[in-house]
Every structure is written in C-alpha cells, then in structure tokens.
Structure 1
Amino acid sequence: MFSIAVQQQQYKTYILSDETAGSQLEVVPERGGIITRWRIQGQEIFYLDTERFTHPDLSVRGGNPILFPICGNLPDNIYTHNGQQYTLKQHGFARELPWEATESKTKDKASLTVVLNSNEQTKAVYPFDFQLAFTYELQGNTLNVLQEYKNLSATPMPFSAGFHPYFLCGDKTQLEVNIPSGRYQDNITKEIHSFNGNFDFNQDEIDFAFGQLTSQSATAIDNSRKLKVTLDYDDFSTWLVFWTVKGKEFYCLEPWSATRNSLNTRENLTVLAPGASCSASIQLTANFF
C-alpha cells in the first residue's frame, strides 16, 4: 500500500510511503526540490545535517541535492557564452531555488513530481528559458529519479546535471566501494591516478572524479551497518564522483552528466536544441544484510 502525506515542518514536506515495505521518502520542494530523508524499516539511508538545514542561506548538506546547470565548480565561478561572461556558483542554482510540487500518484508506487522553471534570477546567471521536471518514485527498497530537461529558449542550451546523494555510514574502513572505472582525477590535486578499488580514509578529504565508466552500475557496501547501496544510471551520467570528509558520518557517490568546468571545456556537455527536451534516470536500491 502506498500513500503520500503532507506535513508543515519548517517547510512543506511530502512524505511518500510504501507501507508494505516499511520505506519512506521525505521531499521538500521549496528547498531545492530535494529529497531530505529516505528510510527503510526505520533506518536512515541518507545523511542529513539537520542543524544546517534550518538555515536557508546555507547549502543543504545531506539528502540528495540536485546539480544544475553545472556539476562541480568553475574556475573563479566564471563561464563564457557567446562572448559574454557569467558567474555561477558551485553545482549551480537548482539546489537553492524553490521548486513546485505538481503531481502525485499512489498507484503501484508512491511518486511525486517537482518542477523548476527559469525566471529572471536564473537568467541573470544562465541566459536560457528552461523547465526541469523530476519525478521521485518509491517502491519497496528502491528509489527512482526520473528527470526531464526542456529548452524553452530560441537558442541551443548547454548544461550538465547530476545529483549529490549523501549516504549515512558507520566505520568507513569497513566500506567497500565498487566504481566501474580504472582511474580518477583527484579534484584537490588535479592529478590522475589509477584506481584499484581502495580508498585511504585517513585523508582529511577524498574528492575523486571517475570517468570512462565501463558499466552503468556502482555499489557501496557498508559492512558496519550491514547495508548495500546500488546506484544504477543511464548513459546520461558519464562521471561518478566519490566525496567524503574525515570525521563525518557520510560518503557521497554522485552521478554527473559531465565533469567540472564543462560549460567552458564542452567536455560531455549536453546541448539541447531550441524547443527540445531530454530525459534521464537514476535508481538507488538499498538492501540490509
């Protein structure tokens, strides 16, 4: 049985439930269209810094933030389009703006669609008319995120997009991460390294970008929590980023459509023709063992 409840917390919060499976999602459209919580049998899958979340002027650290129209950062936060310079902050603006919940369904699954439209604020830093429509689907221990990107402009629209999910974890030394790539760029040193499947969690920060993906699935097994998380993605996602900070109870496994600075380098950049749209999806599955 599936249901959707609405609660007025600090923000209006939509709670999607699969009561048979004992799974729940919490979505806060007006805070960046974000999923803040995902629980299975009462256990949290996502990490959320709840204190930070109460401050609207701070970016959310937790849940599943949306990255658009860039992933990562730009040198000096600047990109050039048609000879004009624009400024965009790290990961873009979609995670900071209010989205609108437009449709919900409880037949066969619990699903909620949230929409973001361009406005004068977005066009000042990204000169395009667009509409994003994301549908969150909860069924059993699986979360699907269906995405649609529409270019409503009269000119081609370049962008990259992705997600920044924060997974709650226990002892990181008991974490096994399987990423389908043999090399990564260290985003801190900018050096390229081969990857043998191991991370040194004694580092203060790990920020690795994996390209040349050889499959459309990655896994992380947290042996201390007896939890396996599987991330499946389509060919829209061309990079995976693994990020964590020493002493914090999270790791991030992030599907990106392009790497940092793609608005300038054009590498893996998606360019939609006027009036065109494209769709993408990711699927997260959590299993306790």
Structure 2
Amino acid sequence: MPTNTRIENAFLTVDISSLGAEMQSITSADGGSWLWNGDAAFWTGRSPVLFPIVGKAPNDTLAIDGKPYPMAQHGFARRREFTIETRSATACRYVLEASDETRAVYPFDFRLTVEHSLDDRTLTVTSTVENRGSAPMPFGFGYHPAFSWPLPGAEGKPHTVTLANGGEPLRQPLENGLLSTNRTPSPFERGRLVLAHELFANDALVFPEGAGDSLVYAAEDGPSLAFRFDNLPNLALWTKPGAPFLCVEPWHGTAAECGASPELKDRPYTSVLESGEAKRFAFSVTFSA
C-alpha cells in the first residue's frame, strides 16, 4: 500500500505519496487548502509526475526504434510505487528505477528522482532523469499539479494567469488528445488571461513555446501563487469545465502531433540522454495569502 511522507515548516505542510511521488495536499498555517483533493467525480489526480511521455500516443502505442510498446497517457511513473531515499523535516526525495515491468513497455535503464522541499512560503519540486543503460534514451517529462480554483478565501473573485514575460503565446489545440498541426491565436492579452471554464470546453490550453519561465496564478485582490520553471519550456493549463481546480502544467515534451510518426524520439520537445547522462527539471511555487 502507498505511504505518505509529510514535510512542513512554519508556513506550509505538504503530504507526498509513495505512489507516483505525487503530492496529496498543501496546507498553509492558516488552514488554507491549496491543492486539489482528487475527488473522483471530476479527476482522481492531484499532482502527477509525467514520465516517460507527456500527453497521449497514437492509439496509446509508442514506437521505439520501430518496435511498438503500449503506453498510456502521461506515461507510467504516476502509477508506480517510488522508494523514499532521503527525508528531513522540510524535504524528501523519492526514487523510481527501471524494473522488468517498466522495461516491458519502455526498454531503458533509467533512474528518476523526485524531491519536494520547503523554504519559507516556497515549495520546490526537483526531478532528475538518469540514463543508466548503454543506448541513447528518449523521453518526455512534465509536472501536472492541480490547484484550488477558487483559491482559498477567494470564492466569487475573478482569477487570472499572468505571464511574467507579457507574452501572447499561440495555442496548439488538442484533437482526441493529440496535438493539432495548426496553432490558434493566443487567449492571453499582454500576458494576462482571465480564467473561465468555457476556455476548457475542448480540453487543455497547450502553449508549446513562448509562455516563458514564470507566471502568477491569482485571485483579484486575493491570494496568489507565483511559479518559476527550470528546463520546462512548454506550458499547459487545464481543468474539467465546472471542476474546482486549475492545473498549471510545465513540461519538456508534449503529446504526439496528429498524423505524425509514433516514434518516441520524434515527439515534440523529446529529450535524449546518452549513456551516463542526466537531466534536471524543476518548478517552484510561492504562496501568498
């Protein structure tokens, strides 16, 4: 059975499950609950880690060097049991290593670490993917945290996402979970997007490039979450219309494009590690009431 690890300081308490190294709750000292609770009426996820793909593969099948492998949306890491490696009052690190079961669907010797740490009002999640095999290893990686919408104490207030770079990144729509080859005008105006559930009537808002490395999700004259992203060039925003959460998803890798090659190495923004190499990905979020 999965077990939870708790990290905390004077400002925040975070619970992380061994299943998927997935956060289960984020609570502030005033009792505010900031992370989605996983209500199955909408979506059972809370903050899954996406590996070795982000998004869908055509017919849920990847090709690696021409050989087909079954692969569910967002990969298998979120359904795997991680092992706790280190733990302190304010940080913990989980690890997932290749096994016979993972090699049957992803034939590489990998090591994935996921560390959660607290510093005052800032939570940082850092992941490292290592190639411990002899062959080049392609993969996608991403984070999928879901935060309360409305934010604690901000019921009835407009909520916005504001890009620090002031950008108006083009959207790449999804068609049955795969990326359309067309891009559509940005819903952002001078870096600002006023959130509305109808924006998500046709699935997630995916911005493959141009969203920058930081943004703020906030309620008008209310609480805010300030994000920074490291080595995560793609951004998606998602909810199920009517659901009380917003996913802020930084990625390095996206779903396959419609009609494109099923090869993993050909998916947009795929990383490839040579033998012995490692790659780091991180995001931080600062909570302000």
Calculate the TM-score normalised by the size of structure 2.
Answer: 0.85
Q: Which residue of 2 aligns with 1:5?
A: none
Tell which deviates more after alignment, 127-136 or 212-221.
Answer: 212-221
Q: Which structure 1 segments of 5+ residues have no match?
A: 1-9, 54-58
Q: Which one of 18, 41, 52 corresponds to residue 69 of structure 1? A: 52
> 1:153: Cα distance to partner?
1.0
- Indicate conservation of the 8 Å contact 1:205/1:245, yes or no: no
Q: Which residue of 2 aligns with 1:3?
A: none
> 1:182: Cα distance to partner?
2.2
More strand by share: 1
- 3-state secondary structure, aligned to 1:76: helix
Q: Which residue of 1 aligns with 2:287?
A: 286
> 1:196: Cα distance to partner?
4.0
Question: CA, structure 1 residues 181+121, in 2 after alignment: closer, same or farther (shift >3 Å)?
Answer: farther
Percent of matched pairs sharing the same residue: 24
- Indicate conservation of the 8 Å contact 1:172/1:201, yes or no: no
> 1:229: Cα distance to partner?
1.1
Q: Which residue of 1 aligns with 2:260?
A: none
**C-alpha separation in 2, matches of 1:246 and 1:210:** 19
Counterpart residue identity of residue 268, structure 1: Y
**C-alpha separation in 2, matches of 1:146 and 1:49:** 22
Question: CA, structure 1 residues 148+40, in 2 after alignment: closer, same or farther (shift >3 Å)?
Answer: same
Counterpart residue identity of residue 20, structure 2: G
Q: Which structure 2 segments of 5+ residues have no match?
A: 257-262
Question: CA, structure 1 residues 152+200, in 2 after alignment: closer, same or farther (shift >3 Å)?
Answer: same
**C-alpha separation in 1, matches of 2:131 and 2:88:** 26
Q: Which one of 138, 154, 157 corresponds to residue 118 of structure 2? A: 138
> 1:52: Cα distance to partner?
7.5
1:1-289 alignment, distance < 5 Å: 11-18=2-9, 20-21=10-11, 23-29=12-18, 31-41=19-29, 42-50=31-39, 60-62=44-46, 64-106=47-89, 110-170=90-150, 174-179=158-163, 180-188=167-175, 190=180, 191-197=182-188, 198=193, 199-202=195-198, 204-213=201-210, 215-223=212-220, 226-234=222-230, 236-261=231-256, 263=264, 265-288=266-289
Question: CA, structure 1 residues 265+172, in 2 after alignment: closer, same or farther (shift >3 Å)?
Answer: farther
- 3-state secondary structure, aligned to 1:184: coil
**C-alpha separation in 1, matches of 2:65 and 2:115:** 33
Computed over aligned residues only, the root mean square deviation of the Cα atoms, in angstroms, reads: 2.3
- Structure number with greater CO (CA < 8 Å, separation at least 6) is 2
Calculate the TM-score normalised by the size of structure 1.
Answer: 0.85
Aligned residue pairs, count: 265
